Amino acid sequence: MKVIFLDIDGVLNSQDWYQKRSDLLDKKQVSDNYPFYEFDPDAIDLLNYIIERTWAKVVVSSSWRRGRRSEDLQEILDRVGFIGEVIDVTPSLHCRIDGEPAGYTIPRGCEIDWWLKNHGGFQRVNWSKEKQQEYIDKAKVKNYVILDDDSDMLFQQREHYVQTKTMHGLTKELADRAISILNKSLIELYYNE
C-alpha cells in the first residue's frame, strides 16, 4: 500500500485560494457552507491526480484531524470532489515530563513515524539494499509521501517529503514530484546512485 500523509491548510488551501475565494464569494456564502469553501478546487483536482496515478490511500496528518474521525474527514473531502480513500489519521502526540504536560509540541514527523511503525509495519534501515528489501517485503506500507507546508519532519523522511508553500498550496509541479516519489521503489529512493 502507498500512503499520502496529508496536511490540509497550506496544501489544499492557500493564500492564493483565499484571495480568489474572496473575489468569487461573499462572506455569508463562505460561513454558511463551512468548511467546504476552505478547499481550493484546483488543489483537490491535483490531489485526485496523484491518487489516479498512484492508487495511494490518505492518512490525514493535518490539525484538521483533531476532534474528527477519518470517516468525518472522508465525508468532508468527498463533498469537495475528492476521489480517494481516507484510511486513518495520525495521532496527536504530546510531550509529558513526569506525567505532566511539558508545554512542548511533538514534531509532525514523529507522529507520522509513529503511524508508519504501528500501522504500516514500515521501517527504514541504512545497512544495505538487501536488508531494506527484507523490511519492505514485510511491511504493509510499501511507500509514502508527506504533503505539508510545515517543516517539522524527520531527517529520515526527507526523500518522502514534498513541502508546499502556504501562499500557493499544492501545485502541478509538486503533485508530479509526489507521484514520482510514490511510484519509485524504496530501493530506488534510498539508494539512488
- Confidence label for 55 from pLDDT (cuts 50, 70 and 90): very high
Helices of type H across the chain: 15-24, 27-32, 41-54, 70-79, 108-119, 129-138, 172-182, 186-190
The model's pLDDT over 106-163, given as tens digits with 9 standing for 90+, comes to 889 999 999 999 998 888 877 788 888 888 889 999 999 999 999 999 999 999 999 9
The amino acid occupying position 95 is C
- Confidence label for 181 from pLDDT (cuts 50, 70 and 90): very high
Whole-number pLDDT of residue 161: 97
Q: Which of 119, 82, 120, 104 minimizes the C-alpha distance to 6? A: 82
Given a cut of 80, is residue 101 above it in pLDDT?
no
The amino acid occupying position 50 is I
**Whole-prediction pTM:** 0.92
Whole-number pLDDT of residue 102: 77
CB within 8 Å of 55: residues ≥ 6 apart: 2
- Confidence label for 193 from pLDDT (cuts 50, 70 and 90): low
